[in-house]
Structure 1
Amino acid sequence: MHLEIATEPAHPQRPNEDFTAASPSAVVLLDGAGTPAGSDCGCSHGVAWYVSRLGVSLLAAVTNQPDRALTDCLADAITQTAGLHADTCDLSHPGTPSATVVAVRLADEVVEYLVLADSTLVLEHTDERGPVAVTDDREALVGAALRGAMDAEAAGTAEHAEALRGYVEAMRAHRNQPEGFWVAAADPATAYASLTGNVPRADLTGVTLLSDGASRLVDRFELADWAEALRLIREQGPAALIREVRTAELSDTDGRRWPRGKTHDDSAVVRVTL
């Protein structure tokens, strides 16, 4: 396989809360859930710390235990990561660090995948179906009913920042709850709410993993479809997609055209050619 990775923080002076890693038989991408200024998360380490440790543990499990289900690997990684700070942090806090997860295992005959929360996996088929995006939209469905006040305010204003804090607080009540949405946090049981599947390896030409900061060119801004986005990545590399996202964001810094919680977001793209 051939592997290309690009990632960029939302702001150079802030830590990148996206995480990517790969081995010859596995790829993982995680997108950490940050806490707005003025909100507590109960953890002294922060989201970037959590995401990197969860990602390393997950990659090791997926790689070293090829016969173990991806959901079990994620559950083990959540348990292991929680154990690293259970004695120092309040893991029962509703804002404890969390992450979306995409994991892919590349076996000889089959490609297995797991998707939890709003990062995206795009499968590129060898036949006329074209690219197929796999994403967990439960968070978006819950958020659609709660984001009105935030979307009504111009990004960068005090009013928007206050509305964002209110939105995050409201979403916490639905996180990892029945009829809500699911993310990796401190409870290993959430791993079993993931979307999973497998595809014969011979049926795929490649797979692409994207955090929502990168996929927004397609699924929020609607400036490209998946076929166009993948063509850009193939021809110019994954960093080119992130550049297109940044160009769009800079054309709408107040969020009037595309209302969003963050003007810029951490972005990560992993392209695997089989």
Structure 2
Amino acid sequence: MDATVATAERAGDGETEDRIFLLPQAVIVLDGATSVELGPGSGGWYADLLGQNLARQLASSGDLDLRVALADAIASLVVTHGLRPGQAPSTAVTILRWSTQVVEGLVLCDTSLALQSPAGQTTVLHDDRLHKLGHPDRAAYLDAIRTGSPFDRERLRRMQALTREYRNQPGGFWVAEAVPEAADEAVHGIWPREEVAAALVATDGAAVGIDAYHVLDDWAAGFNMAKDHGVEAVIDLVHQTELGDPHARRWPRFKAHDDKALAFVQFLSEAR
């Protein structure tokens, strides 16, 4: 193996719906969307099956276009389980794949891929279209939390129903669900292998420690903590931060704890 991979996961307010799949030269991280209407576990069920499909495809072909692999994996689930757009579970997806020549990444919806160069510079591949929707109900829910309202399952259900209207639509956001063409909208990047020393793949429940809470100043700080203390320390820092803000007053959010998953890949220097 030409890289070392360490992973850590922590469930949020229930059974985790995040999934990590490891291949000899790839990492797949999925963040199944919790749905009040579709029932608990539905996002994790979908993430698990989609990850299995992706892992099989990438294992069988090392140079298969990542967007094609994702589209085919979604299409297979649509046929096998009769999934219908707007009524199916969904998941965010990040794929990191490498060879002796290149490092490649794909991000669909709100997971993150950060790369670090041998000199310590960081590059982040992120799909923020969901968070840029600016839906008034989303803002109203977070404002209510900030000013003292408790977490409200019914209000969350209504907000999720409205958000689904923007799912896999031009001008909205794109996510793995029941529309294979969503894969074509994924954020994609490719870099020469010698320019990448390490990578972090994070679901949004872990990335908020950098992007929202700022308990880690930046992604470089995330790399440093993962290297010096391990990936579990990064997950624990984010979780402990949320424990210090149990009612989400300081950092308004939709639930006390989101699921957290993190993969840390260090490329061996002799392979670069």
Tell me whether the two structures share a fold, i.e. TM-score over 0.5.
yes
Structure 1 residues 93, 198: CA separation in 2 closer, same or farther (over 3 Å shift)? Answer: closer
Contact in 2 for aligned 1:6/1:238 (Cα 8 Å): yes
User: Residue 5 in 1 paired to residue 7 in 2?
Assistant: yes
Contact in 2 for aligned 1:16/1:48 (Cα 8 Å): yes
Structure 1 residues 15, 82: CA separation in 2 closer, same or farther (over 3 Å shift)? Answer: farther
Structure 1 residue 15 displacement after superposition: 2.2
**Rounded Cα–Cα distance in structure 2 between residues aligned with 1:214 and 1:173:** 27
1:273 to 266, 269, 272: 266
Structure 1 residues 25, 40: CA separation in 2 closer, same or farther (over 3 Å shift)? Answer: closer
Partner amino acid, structure 1, of 2:259: D
When normalised by structure 1's length, the TM-score is 0.90
User: Residue 61 in 1 paired to residue 57 in 2?
Assistant: yes
User: Residue 197 in 1 paired to residue 193 in 2?
Assistant: no
**Rounded Cα–Cα distance in structure 1 between residues aligned with 2:233 and 2:129:** 29
Contact in 1 for aligned 2:109/2:173 (Cα 8 Å): yes
Aligned match of 1:85:
81
Identity score, percent: 33
Q: Deviations along 1:233-265, whole A, 9 cap, x unmatched?
A: 111111111101111101111111111112101
Where 2:168 maps in the other structure, the secondary structure is coil
Where 1:168 maps in the other structure, the secondary structure is helix
Paired residues for 1:224-239 under 5 Å: 224=216, 225-239=218-232
Contact in 2 for aligned 1:149/1:163 (Cα 8 Å): no
Where 2:262 maps in the other structure, the secondary structure is strand
Structure 1 residues 159, 214: CA separation in 2 closer, same or farther (over 3 Å shift)? Answer: closer
Paired residues for 1:1-274 under 5 Å: 1-11=3-13, 14-36=14-36, 39-40=37-38, 46-86=42-82, 91-92=83-84, 94-127=86-119, 130-143=121-134, 145-154=136-145, 160-224=152-216, 225-274=218-267
Q: CA RMSD in A?
A: 1.9
Unaligned 5+ runs, structure 1 = none
**Rounded Cα–Cα distance in structure 1 between residues aligned with 2:134 and 2:49:** 27
Structure 1 residue 169 displacement after superposition: 1.4
Structure 1 residues 3, 40: CA separation in 2 closer, same or farther (over 3 Å shift)? Answer: closer
**Rounded Cα–Cα distance in structure 2 between residues aligned with 1:238 and 1:66:** 27
**Rounded Cα–Cα distance in structure 2 between residues aligned with 1:148 and 1:263:** 17
Structure 1 residue 158 displacement after superposition: 5.8
**Rounded Cα–Cα distance in structure 1 between residues aligned with 2:71 and 2:9:** 26
Where 1:258 maps in the other structure, the secondary structure is coil
Structure 1 residue 45 displacement after superposition: 7.5
**Rounded Cα–Cα distance in structure 2 between residues aligned with 1:102 and 1:237:** 21
Contact in 2 for aligned 1:62/1:105 (Cα 8 Å): no
**Rounded Cα–Cα distance in structure 2 between residues aligned with 1:64 and 1:108:** 18
Where 2:144 maps in the other structure, the secondary structure is coil
Unaligned 5+ runs, structure 2 = 268-272
**Rounded Cα–Cα distance in structure 2 between residues aligned with 1:158 and 1:256:** 10
Q: Which moved more, 1:171-180 or 1:93-102?
A: 93-102
Contact in 2 for aligned 1:208/1:271 (Cα 8 Å): yes
Structure 1 residues 255, 238: CA separation in 2 closer, same or farther (over 3 Å shift)? Answer: same
